[in-house]
Structure 1
Amino acid sequence: MDIKELLSSFAQLTVFSIMLSMGMALGFTGISRLWRRPSLLVRCIVAAFVVVPLAAMVVTKVVPLSFEVRAGIAAMAVIPGAPVIYRKMLKGPGDAELAGSFQATMALLSVVLVPLWFGIISALYPMDATAALSVVFKQVMTVQGIPLLVGAALAHWLPDLTEEFSEPLNRISNAMLIGVVLMVVVMGLSLVLKAGPLPILAVVLMAAAALLAGHYLGGSDPVQRETLALANGSRNAGLALALITLNFPAVAQEVLVTIASYAVMSGIATKIYTHLYQKQLARTARVQDAPGV
């Protein structure tokens, strides 16, 4: 097993444990929070599964890129809901439960929509794709859908058991997530330097499109808007790598460069966005609190 396969397997196991832990923490009530606001739900789906993939198509059409870079961008574009975003919201700005509902909802929708998008990608590159859509469906369902629903079911029907095991599982999944982040950062920084200016430009444009889509479709409430911008900007690098390994095994190593580049550059873009938006909110608050306003 080479480093690519090891990272892919560990990332899948990490996503599984995090989704199980998140399902136990949110329960069906927390998961369905976004569902109780149909208008916002539709906007979130559009931002995650329509705007970002279309933006990726435009970027890969305009910027001259190799097939490997285009495949990596496409994979990140069609798989929203990074496992890290819920944990970030627990410690920083934003609404953690809303971010969790967004991530859970996108994870469940990914079971259907990701294979659909991969079918489109496979149609565009029929000679390169190898995995059947049923395999992609099974992969997404196994890693995201099943553990999320099992966790929520345990919280609903076995609350005492959930309370006993949720904290140990949370610690284990956090440790695994830290491991994945460290591996991505260690590998990603060196890979980003190798990527070249055009792939970096492409991933920066896509990261900006994802953040802006969540921002402008997130409504007028500042906390909600920031939460959905950050949630939409964070794509699922672990699952993207796993699906690329399944569907395009011949180029998976090269695609890892693009996925790692996006993970690093989107993290930087998120920090910049949060800093600028918090400054804007503070400036607006000062103006509103000024005498005579």
Structure 2
Amino acid sequence: MNHDIVLQLALPVTLFCIMFSMGSSLVAADFKRVVQTPAAVITGVVSQMVVLPLAAFIILSLLQLPPELFIGFMILAFSPGGTTSNMFSYLAQGDVALSITLTAIVSLVTPLTIPLLGGLVLEWQLGDQSEIVLPFLPTFAKLVVITLIPVLLGMLLRHYRAAFCLRFEKLMTRVPLLMLLLVIGGIIWQNRTSMSLFLDQTGVPALLLSSLALGLGYLAAKLVRLQLRTARTIAIETGIQNGGTAILITGTILNNPNMTIAPVMYGILMLIPTFAYILWLNRRRAVIV
């Protein structure tokens, strides 16, 4: 993939806008749920931060992917909290408030966990002599600037200008998502002649991982006897990953086109099992009614 304005400028700006938009939807009550519903929050965070990366590691190891694709998928697995998960939780008639809380919490911790865990995976796959490294402090600083700071700025705007945020909520949410779609579309267009090859390389792992993530998230919630709406939300949160952050790491910080293939393709293909799950829920609901 070519390194140009799409990855170097458009993607960071888009991520900043997405995280600012998410922050503008947060209120103090979103964080109080950690105390009010600790089982749901803890299960959701563990499912995203622990269960999914472990599942990804096992699946990718069994499939014996090339090191660069393996790393790309693992960095994606370390990047939970996709902002679109809130929309999908709504479509699945899940607990949208819990979805927002989980997205907010993981967004606060991933600037620390992604460079730490990603660095370990790089060293394991490529060896400590590789020229490709993920420096902890620069990566942490960049993620703080692009993901954490805009969330905090958005929360400040919501606190002091709540009426403004509520009035323009749809606009502030849809425009950044449209920007992300344009960025992904730009990456796909640049590599349109290679898309069939990318699909061959990553299609099966992406579909397997996204489908398994939905199932594991749902199972984790049911094992601790959470409500059905909560289980649906945790399933969606586990399956929907923050592809934008993963692409930022692989494409901009690591400057590795091959690693970027995995998060780009997952960001597209994860929609298939997600929409299938939502359609199944809607059909089931219609039959019951």
**Structure 2 length normalisation: TM-score?**
0.84
Change (3 A) 1:151 1:211: same
Q: Which moved more, 1:16-25 or 1:171-180?
A: 171-180
Q: Distance in 2 between matches of 1:90 and 1:96?
A: 6
| Matched residue, 1:263 | 267
Residue equivalent to 1:38: 38
Separation (CA, whole Å) in 1 of partners of 2:43 and 2:91 = 26
Give the deviation of 1:177 after TM superposition.
3.6
| Correspondence 1:272 to 2:276 | yes
Matched, 1:117 2:117: yes
Residue 16 (structure 1) aligns with: 16
Q: Distance in 2 between matches of 1:196 and 1:168?
A: 33
The residue that corresponds to 1:75 in the other structure is: 75
- TM-score using structure 1 length: 0.83
TM-fit CA distance, 1:171: 5.2
Look up the equivalent residue of 1:140 and give its one-letter code. L
> Deviation at 1:130?
2.4
Matching residue of 1:86: 86
Q: Aligned ranges for residues 180-219 of structure 1 at < 5 Å?
A: 180=183, 182-183=185-186, 192-195=195-198, 197=200, 199-219=202-222
- Unaligned regions of 5+ residues in structure 2, if any? none
**Inter-partner Cα distance in structure 2 for 1:188 and 1:86:** 30
Q: What corresponds to 2:157 in structure 1?
A: 154
For 1:130 and 1:211, the matched residues in 2 are separated by: 31
Whether the aligned pair in 2 keeps the contact of 1:191 and 1:261 (CA below 8 Å) is: no
In terms of mean alpha carbon deviation, does 79-88 or 181-190 score higher? 181-190
- Residue 110 (structure 2) pairs with residue 135 (structure 1): no
**TM-fit CA distance, 1:11:** 2.6
1:25 aligns with 2:25: yes
CA distance in 1, matches of 2:191, 2:46: 29
Q: Contact 1:56/1:77 (CA < 8 Å) preserved in 2?
A: yes
Using the TM superposition, give the Cα deviation of residue 77 of structure 1 relative to its aligned residue in structure 2, in angstroms: 0.8
What whole-Å deviation, never above 9, does each CA across 1:193-249 have from its counterpart, x for those lacking one?
212545322222211222112211234422222222112211111110111135532
Structure 2: distance between partners of 1:234 and 1:68: 22
Amino acid at match of 1:254: N
SS in structure 1 opposite 2:270? helix
Change (3 A) 1:121 1:9: farther
Please give the alpha-carbon distance, in whole angstroms, between the structure 1 residues aligned to 2:97 and 2:8: 28
The more displaced of 60-69 and 172-181 is 172-181
Task: Select between 197-206 and 26-35 the one with higher mean Cα deviation.
Answer: 26-35
Q: Does 1:222 align with 2:225?
A: no
Q: 1:5 to 1:77 in 2, by over 3 A?
A: farther
Cα shift at 1:53: 1.0
Per-residue CA deviation, residues 236-271 of structure 1 (Å, 9 max, x unaligned), is 11110111135532xx21222222221222111111
Residues 45 and 102, structure 2, Cα contact 8 Å, conserved in 1: no
| CA distance in structure 1 between the partners assigned to 2:198 and 2:174 by the alignment | 34
